[in-house]
Amino acid sequence: MDQATDIPNCPFCPFSDADSQFVAAHIEFCHPENGARSENDYDRPDDLPEDSYQDNQNPPSDEEDSPEKYVDCPHGCGEIVLSTELNSHLDLHMAEEIALEDSGAAQPEPQNLDADAPKFDELLEDKYAFQGKGRPASKGISQRTGPKKKNRSGSRSEDFGTAPTNGVRRLGRAELGPHAHEKKMPSWLRKMLEKGAKTTRTNQISADGKLSKHEEVENEMVDVIPALARLCDQDKSVQRAFLCSPKVRQIFKMPREGGFCGYRNIQMLVSHIQESQSLGHDHFPESTPTILTLQDMIEQAWDMGFNSTGRIETGGIRGTRKYIGTPEAQALFMSLGIPCEANSIGETQDLRAHDALYMNIAEYFRNACSLDGDEKILVTDLPPVYFQHQGHSMTIVGFEIRDNGSANLLVFDPMFKTSPAMRRFIRSPVKPSDPTRLLKAYRRGTPYLQKFKLFEILKLSDSKSSSEASEA
């Protein structure tokens, strides 16, 4: 703590970072003079009157409302976030947009290591390390059984929501977000989701001289995993990194859409199923299923009896902006015959929640590859992992161990798009002078994760395609 005074910090909020240039950019980007926004920022579509945007908000009564306060992102991304999470949200905008070029000085990573924290480099060297003391106990969540504070997208608190129906409690804003009581999303948003992201089609000449058609979706990016592998290899502070299959696409929200992160993460898992032709790919024969399509599929899964209490807990999700969580993702995949496993991870007697999460994800990757060699970067065929904590979800695509024994998750966060600098690196992989600047937007380490006491993850089984399975 004595060293905190040496770390540059923002004079307007608690944000701080060891890189003074990053702090300066944060101030310029997140605290513009007089609070003015650029003309590109927005709270609502410019062609709609103010009262149109307020349609269907349906604020809950005082007794139903959560004490958690939601605020509009001042950056103008359209997200409504908890006030307590605003600074973290703005920090990630900085990691998304800051000029991640060769002009910056090297950025040291925070060293928040406790003396009793696990050293993951040592654990991975011992193939029996995960079978002994400290292995996190996992608990299935398919029927939402568990302690009262068992979670969907945050704290399952008995203080919020409405009275139980058949022993199942209707959830409130604490779990379902600011639009928990909404019956129908605004018509402009529905039209935007129906239209989907802009798709660009071009003709390209391949290396063998053949003409091929190339399609690029505005909110999707391919070949991000190979780029992350190169960056981790170039980062000298990384001792070893594991990555999931390169066949997953990074998918992020469209401007103004709001908190549909759960659906975007499902889309990323679906992208792996599609590209790898794994079991269930025939349910997604064409492009990425839309958010509205996924809502229909989840409702159909409830009709079939998969995690059907979700309908009572949410009041139904079709055509609304209510948050979804791991149980909805699990119900969707199970209803399609796609094998998956959902677990909750909390604090144990020996491990804090985020250390237990690290252990679980490290074991997931460790079991898929041999550690006998000295490879620094191991790219696997594993599917990505759906990852949930209070109020937000992401997709875990990798795990890295630092040279000091600490760990990071590598994630695709649907709230943040692929940065222009990252896109340039993917297309023209010139070695950057500081790879940590490009990796910052994809890393979630202890300073971020230690704020949460409970996590949920969903893993797809690394199964063969239906055709391969029938031939086996």
Count up the domains in the chain and report the number: 1
Tell me the residue range of the domain where 401 lies: 2-471
The pLDDT of residue 8: 72
Q: Could you tell me whether strands 250-251 and 139-140 are parallel, antiparallel, or unpaired per DSSP bridges? A: unpaired
**Largest interatomic CA distance in the chain:** 67
The pLDDT of residue 94: 59
Give the DSSP letter string of 118-151.
Answer: --HHHHHHSTTGGGSTTPPP-EE-TT--S-TT--
Chain centre distance of CA 438: 17
Beta-carbon contacts of residue 287 (< 8 Å; ≥ 6 apart) = 217
- CA gap 16, 4 in Å, rounded: 9
The pLDDT of residue 238: 95
Q: What is the mean pLDDT of each run of 10 residues along the chain (472 residues)?
A: 58 64 60 38 38 38 49 65 65 52 41 55 49 34 36 36 64 89 93 90 69 81 96 95 96 89 97 94 91 97 96 95 96 96 92 95 89 84 96 95 92 91 86 88 94 95 50 44
Beta-carbon contacts of residue 198 (< 8 Å; ≥ 6 apart) = 217, 218
The pLDDT of residue 193: 94
The pLDDT of residue 59: 41
The pLDDT of residue 461: 84
Residue 111 sits in a domain whose CATH number is: 3.90.70.130
The predicted-structure confidence for 88-122, as pLDDT tens digits, reads as follows 666 666 555 543 343 343 444 444 445 556 666 65
